Amino acid sequence: LDNFCKTKFLTDHQCWFSLHAGGQYEYILVEKRGEKSDVGFIQLNRPKALNALCEGLMRELRQALDVFEADGEVGAIVITGSDRAFAAGADIKEMQNKTFQECYRTDFLAHWNRVSQSKKPVIAAVNGFALGGGCELAMMCDIIYAGEKAQFGQPEILLGTIPGAGGTQRLTRAVGKSLAMEMVLTGDRINAQDAKQSAFEMTLAEGNHFEKRLFHATFATGDQKEGMTAFVEKRKASFQDS
Ligand code: CAA
């Protein structure tokens, strides 16, 4: 383990967490910070994929949250990414060939809700891209601190699908119906200043379940296959409304 930590440039705290979680984290860096070690710090760490939220990363995130929740010393949890990307969304390469049946049967993305169910306050420290699932992950947190380079967006429409982890619901509450619809229907991004200006509270109603079912249903369409395949093949999607 010592060698592993040295080759991965981990601090003693991060090493301890690698051990404590019963294995080494591959996609996140985890440590306790602050004078009293009372801040649970989780950094998404898949730089080459702009912190795309693959299943392995989300599993590790849940594990780290479990560890911090059980740790009496920890008062609050911070989730962050890099300067370039908080997270560029769910992993499109992993999702590309999923069928409707698979999404429905496994209740795809349902586990992501773990973040919003944390018993301790969770803060998202966002810079760079917070797109799709990345934007949704930030919105699952209790507080968002956004840097100058932060860009929020729900670009799923450009992939032939819709937000599937609460985006249509939480974005509406965060920035209001009008801007949320514009963002979800165009895929356009906003910066931290725009987000702050349009933020206001709305009544919370449970729409996530309905949204997830619609999200799953997009995997039965040709446009979802075309949208995600086009992304992976680095070309513009040619949607046929199929
Ligand atoms: N999934 C998988 N890989 C991703 C990814 C994602 N969401 N986003 C970026 N990557 C990968 C790219 O494929 C690329 O990998 P390769 O070098 O192996 O080709 C690498 O990260 C760097 O990306 P780019 O070369 O595209 O970098 P860029 O600076 O030109 O563009 C970007 C950055 C605008 C964020 C662009 O990568 C992009 O549009 N990403 C996809 C954003 C998106 O559509 N997110 C929504 C996903 S669906 C979703 O999240 C559903 C949900 O509700 C949960």
Q: How does pLDDT run across 94-114, given as a tens digit for each residue?
A: 999 999 999 999 999 999 999
**pLDDT higher for 54 or 205?**
54
To the nearest whole percent, how much of the chain has pLDDT over 90? 79
SS3 content of the chain, % helix, strand, coil (to 5): 45, 15, 35
Max Cα separation, the chain? 57
237 close to ligand 1 (CB < 6 Angstrom): no
Distance 85 CA to ligand 1 centre (A): 10
Amino acid 238: pLDDT = 95
Q: Work out the pLDDT band at 166, boundaries 50, 70, 90.
A: very high
Q: To which H or E segment does residue 32 belong?
A: strand 28-33
Given a cut of 80, is residue 80 above it in pLDDT? Answer: yes
Distance 52 CA to ligand 1 centre (A): 7
Given a cut of 60, is residue 136 above it in pLDDT? Answer: yes
- Give the mean model confidence (pLDDT) for residues 36-47: 97
Catalytic residue numbers read 90, 133, 136, 156
How far apart, in Å, do the first and last CA atoms of the chain sit? Answer: 51
Strand bridging mode 39-44 / 28-33 = antiparallel
Pocket test for ligand 1, best of 46, 50, 156, 184 (most atoms within 8 A of CB): 50
Q: Which residues contact 230 (CB under 8 A, 6 or more apart)?
A: 236, 237, 238
Strand bridging mode 129-131 / 85-87 = parallel
167 close to ligand 1 (CB < 6 Angstrom): yes
Strand bridging mode 122-126 / 143-146 = parallel
- Give the mean model confidence (pLDDT) for residues 206-218: 84
Q: Which atom of ligand 1 is nearest to the CA of 187?
A: 44
